[in-house]
Amino acid sequence: MHIATCVWQEKAAAAAGMGGGGGGIGGGWKKKKREWASVAAAAGGALNCAVSFVVFSALDVLDVVLCLVYKLVDYAVEAEWKACYCTAAAARGDAGGPRILAPPGPKVVRLSASSSKMQLEDVSDTLYVRPSLMADATKKAGPAPPALTVSPAIAEMIRGKIDRPPRPPPPAPCWSDCDCKVCHAWSAAPRSASLLYVHVQAPPPPAEAAEDVVFIHGFISSSVFWTETVFPAFSAAARGRYRMFAVDLLGFGRSPKPAESLYTLREHVEMIERSVLQRFRLGSFHVVAHSLGSVLALALAVKYPAAVKSLTLLAPPYFPVPESEAGAATQYVMRRVAPRRVWPPIAFGASMACWYEHVSRTICLTICRHHRVWDRLFRILTRNRVRTFLIEAFMCHTHNAAWHTLHNIICGSAARMDAYLDVLASQLSCKVAVFHGRDDELLPVECALAVGARVPRARVTVYDRKDHITIIVGQEDRFAAELEAIWRSAAAD
């Protein structure tokens, strides 16, 4: 049974075959070298754990302090005492906040922004159940009981919608969010406020596209991740045959960033449906998705099984949940994505963004609100266009969008991923290709291999010396050729 085609595995096997059988003095030296490397790795791991414990214990305290600071500043600037997810501990007791018993996971009843109907939204319990490092280190083994308590932050949001008459959205974003024309232009146009920003690259007239392709970016990114990389690299034949759509997901890039949205899977998928599938009348299409976008791509494929011709996933965030963790799948995925380690740096950044609501807001205040300043600095310091377009890709979002999307899509979809992949394997016939970078420190290569194991017909390719970003950036021509080959193969079937 075919599971994966892995470039790095083939090379490693070849190297092992050529280097095997060494003995004598050379073999003894190599053995000692491996032993010293093992000792050094163990010492480095212990040091990483010790430093991480100190740093993240301090961040636990800092987040509590920042919670009070932001509440005071929000009230002083906007005359509104904003709720947060820090008060979940009180809500979990019998005398705490409201409970919504709606298995199999936490849900919240909310009023739809587009109608007067009440809707049941799936939210991740990681939004409000995030044990401190000290509590996590001393907890007893075994799966946690299912969390069915809704955070007071969500409850207060619901009460505000029900108890108060509807009011128009504020004319300006939150004081800590950017208000430039890239980030906030959507609010000035009522019609476009309900649709995502979509970059369309179509064949020049009078030619007409024969097929459509939808590109979905990953977490804290935007459509420029595609339009500035692979779009210019496609051949003239591909540009004349395919109509390509690159979307800015809800809350990112030039798309709407509603302050009261919970950025759930349903909201993201419905926005893609309205903004691309329905607006441009797509009957069938290919999907190309990176990182977090892979979860949305799978959801679209399951919802439109007859429409998807091929599914290409880059660095999919799939972590098979062990049976011992089945009762707390979201918590397991959060620990895998954000392990609370200071090294490697990308894990440190992910941990701060995932575990600490107010620390991550401070990061957005420092970076996202001032992305124009950072863009100017990068333009001065480097003339590399790749560096400057990544500023827009990574920095044009709000804290509210990033925080909820991270928890509700990556962590909250933990229990859905197995079902999505099983449907893809047994009920869908579309082409499936998975790509991953061997040096990806954010989402390990085992994620792609696990997808290949779950979907046996998937072709899994792992690139040597490529990480989460350079799987595209730096090898645009190569990857554009890969995509064209996948689409041609799908059309031939």
Q: How confident is the model at residue 313 (pLDDT cuts 50, 70, 90)?
A: very high
For the domain spanning 181-492, the CATH number is 3.40.50.1820
Query: According to the model, what pLDDT value does residue 32 have?
Result: 81
Residue 21 zone, left/alpha/beta (φ > 0; ψ -120 to 50; rest) = left
The domain ranges of the chain are 181-492
| Mean pLDDT lowest among 81-90, 310-319, 396-405 | 81-90
Helix (H, G, I), strand (E, B), or coil: what is residue 482? helix
| Mean pLDDT lowest among 82-96, 361-375, 408-422 | 82-96
Query: According to the model, what pLDDT value does residue 389 have?
Result: 77
| Mean pLDDT lowest among 141-150, 162-171, 189-198 | 141-150
pLDDT at 107 over 90: no
Query: According to the model, what pLDDT value does residue 49 have?
Result: 93
Query: According to the model, what pLDDT value does residue 363 have?
Result: 94
Q: What is the largest CA-CA distance in the chain?
A: 84
pLDDT at 374 over 70: yes
Mean pLDDT, rounded, for 25-44: 81
Q: Above pLDDT 70, what percent of the chain?
A: 77
Query: According to the model, what pLDDT value does residue 405 have?
Result: 97
Q: How confident is the model at residue 27 (pLDDT cuts 50, 70, 90)?
A: low
Q: How confident is the model at residue 118 (pLDDT cuts 50, 70, 90)?
A: very low
pLDDT at 194 over 50: yes
Mean pLDDT, rounded, for 324-350: 92
Q: What residues form DSSP beta bridges with 459?
A: 433
Please give the residue that has the higher pLDDT: either 389 or 243.
243
> How do 211-216 and 118-122 pair as beta strands?
unpaired
Helix (H, G, I), strand (E, B), or coil: what is residue 312? strand
Query: According to the model, what pLDDT value does residue 479 have?
Result: 97
Mean pLDDT of the chain: 83
| Mean pLDDT lowest among 30-34, 278-282, 400-404, 467-471 | 30-34
pLDDT at 491 over 60: yes
CA distance 257 to 271: 12
Mean pLDDT, rounded, for 413-441: 95
Q: Above pLDDT 90, what percent of the chain?
A: 60
Residues in contact with 334: Cβ distance below 8 Å, sequence separation at least 6, in sequence order = 126, 130, 354, 355, 407, 411
Q: Which residues are catalytic?
A: 217, 291, 440, 468
pLDDT at 5 over 60: no
pLDDT at 43 over 50: yes
Residues 344/441, Cβ–Cβ less than 8 Å: yes
